[in-house]
Amino acid sequence: MTYRMFTRRGDYILSEEYTFATAVETAAPMGVKVVGVKMDDQGLLPGDLDDILTNWEEGERGARKPFLLYTVPSGQNPTGATQGLERRQALYRVAQKHDLYILEDEPYYFLQMQPYTSDDVPPAPLPRTYEDFLEALVPSLLSMDVDGRVMRLDSFSKVISPGSRTGWITASEQVVERFVRHSEVSVQNPCGIAQIVLYKLLDEGWGHAGYLDWLINLRK
C-alpha cells in the first residue's frame, strides 16, 4: 500500500542491500526498482545512503531521485543487524538532507536481546520494571522524527501469533488519513477474527501491563 501511495511506475526506492525479500517482490510488479544501500554489523550505512542520493543522475538512471527509504532497523531481516542510537540519528539526518520519507518496518522491535554470552557466563537478568524494559530498547526512528517523515510499521505476527496477519502504522495525522483512504479501496481491513481475538486478549485479558509482561518474558 505504501508503494502505491508514494511511488509511480519507473521510480526507485532505497533499502538495505540485503533486505526482506517480500519488500522487493512487492515492488517489482508495480514497476518500482530497489537500490541497495551498503551495510555493516549495525545495518544500513548512512554515508553510503548519502553518496547514492548526492550523486543521483536522473538522466543516467532514467528516473527521478528516490524519496522513500524502506528499512528494518531492529533485528534486520535477513542479517539480524540492529541499528544503534547514533546510527539511527545519522540516518535521520541524511533523510532530512535529501527530504526522504522513511518506512520503518519494526516487527522485531520489542524482541531486542542482550548481547550473546557463552554458556560459562550467567545470562543477563530480565528487566525488573516496565520502565527498565522500555528504556533498554534502542529509540525508534519515529521517536526522533520532527518533520513527519517517518512511518513506523508494527506487527503482532512476531510477538503473539504468526498467523494473526495484524499490525498497525504510526505516522503523522496527514499520512495516516491517506492510509485509511487507500485501505478503504484496497485491503479494506485486517482479518476480522484476528482483530476480535487480539482485542479480547489485549483489552479484556492482559491489559497494557500484561502485554509488557509478555514481551519481557519473551527474552527467556
Q: Is residue 202 part of a domain?
A: no
pTM above 0.85, yes or no: yes
| Residue-range definition of the domain harbouring residue 126 | 2-189
Q: Is residue 142 part of a domain?
A: yes
What's the total number of domains in the chain? 1
The phi, psi pair for 190, rounded to 5°, reads: -70, 175
Q: Is residue 64 part of a domain?
A: yes
Q: Is residue 210 part of a domain?
A: no
Q: Is residue 132 part of a domain?
A: yes
Residue 115 confidence (pLDDT) = 66
Q: Is residue 79 part of a domain?
A: yes
Q: Is residue 106 part of a domain?
A: yes
Q: What is the mean pLDDT of each run of 10 residues along the chain (220 residues)?
A: 90 96 91 97 97 96 96 95 97 98 96 74 80 94 97 94 88 93 82 90 94 89
Question: What CATH number has the domain bearing residue 70?
Answer: 3.40.640.10
Residue 118 confidence (pLDDT) = 67
Q: Is residue 169 part of a domain?
A: yes
Alpha-carbon distance of 95 to 35, in angstroms, equals 15
